[in-house]
Chains A and B, each alone.
Chain A
Amino acid sequence: MKPLLYFLLFFISIVPSVNAQSPTTSQIDELKNKVASKVAELKLVEKRGITGIVTEAGGTKISLKDLKGNIRIIDVDELTEFADVDGKETGLSDIDKGMQIGAIGLYNKESERLLARFIDEVKMPEFIIGGITRKDSESFEVTLATSDGKEYQVSIEDITKSYGVEEDETLTRSGFSKIVIKRNAITIGFFDTKIKQKIIATRFYYFDNLPLDPKIEAIIPALDESSKNVTSTGSGKKLTPL
C-alpha cells in the first residue's frame, strides 16, 4: 500500500510543475501572430520572371515595358546578378534604355515591384500571327496580314524552318513551294534593321488544311486597296503618295 501512496504523492507534486512549464495564453497568441505574419509574408512575395524593353535604368531600379505594354519596376541590390546576351557577367551600369532584358526575382504583390536576383540581356524574337495574303516566289517572301490590319513582309531564308501544321497535330517540314496563300500562319523571327515591317523568319508555321481566319479575310480588300496606292521604286523602298 505504501508504494501506491508514494506514487500518488509523487504524481500530485509533479502535475503543477508540468503546468508551470506549458506556454501561457499570451505566449500561444504571440506564436500564432508570428506564424500568421510569416504566412502572410510568404503569400505576399512570390518568385516571378518578367521580360521587356528597358525604359529607364539608374540608382537601384530599372523600369521596363513588358510584353503587354505595362511599365514594370525592378529593384536591384547587391545580390542581383547581371549577364549579357552571351552569359558574360555585367552590372547595372551596362543596362541601357531600349535594351531587352529578362528578370527573375521576388515579386511583392503589394508594391507590385520585383526584387531581381538575376537580370539577363535577351534577344527575344517576334511572334507574328496572321494570314498569308501574298507570296513572292522570286524574293522568297510572303505577306502576313494580322487581325489588327497590319501587314508584315516575311522573308523565308535558308535558315528558316518551315512547317505545315496538320489537323492530326503532326508537324510536316516543308519548303517555300508548299506554302499557299489564304492560310493562317505564325512566324517567329527578328525585324529587319533596314526595312520596317520586314521580318527575317527563323521559323514559319502554317495551318495546312484550315481556311483563313474570317477576321483577316474581312480586311483583305481594304489592305489590297491600300497596297494599290503604294508605288514601288524598284529599290525595295515604298513611296506613299501624299
Chain B
Amino acid sequence: MKKERLFLSVGALVIGLIVAVVAFYLYQSAKVISPQKNRPLTNITKPTPKSTFFLSLTEPRDEEVSNKRVITVSGKTEPKVTLLIYTQDSEETAISSNDGSFSTTIAIAGGVNKLSVTAASPNGEIQTIVRTVSFTSENF
C-alpha cells in the first residue's frame, strides 16, 4: 500500500512538471516581437553637438532710458569676432578683443529704439541680441 502511494506521488509530480514545461514552451512560442522593437540600432539619430558660440551684452540694459543721444554698447563674445550693431536708423561695426570683450558707441533716435547686436564667428555661427533702448531729454 505504501509503495503504491509513493508511486502515485512521484507520477503526479512528473506529470505536473511535464504540464508546467509544456505550458512555459507554449507561452514563449506565442510571444510576438514587434518589428519596431527589432529595428536596427544604426537608425538611432545622434544629437547635434551643442554650439559653444555665445554673445552677452553688459550695456545697454533692456528698456533703458538714456538722456544722451549716443550710447555705449558693450559686452562679451569669443575673441576676434565681427559684430554688427544696428538700430532702425544707424549701424556700427566692431571686433571683439583677445579676451572677447567689445565696446562701441552708437547714435539712437529720439523716443523708443530697437537695438540689435549680431555676432558672426569665423565658422559662420550667428548670435543676436535685441534690446529696446530709448532716448529722451525730458525730465519726469
**A interface vs B, CB < 8 Å?**
47-51, 66-67, 79, 102-107, 117-118, 120, 122, 124-125, 127, 129, 147, 163, 165-171, 184, 186, 188, 203, 205, 207, 210-215, 217-218
Contacts and interface: CB of A to CB of B under 8 A. Distances in A.
A125 B65 contact: no
Contacts, number: 111
A117 B118 contact: no
B88 A125 contact: yes
B66 to A, nearest CB: 9
Contacts of A50: 63, 112, 132
Contacts of B29: none
Nearest to A186: B118
Interface of B: 48, 51, 63-65, 82-84, 86, 88, 91, 93-95, 111-112, 114, 116, 118, 120-126, 128, 130, 132-134, 136, 138, 140
A165 B130 contact: no
Interface centre among B125, B133, B136 (most CB of A within 10 A): B125
A117 B138 contact: yes
B82 A210 contact: yes
Given A118-B138, A212-B124, A169 B112 contact: no
12 contacts: A48-B64, A51-B132, A102-B134, A105-B140, A120-B111, A125-B88, A129-B128, A147-B126, A165-B93, A210-B120, A213-B125, A214-B123
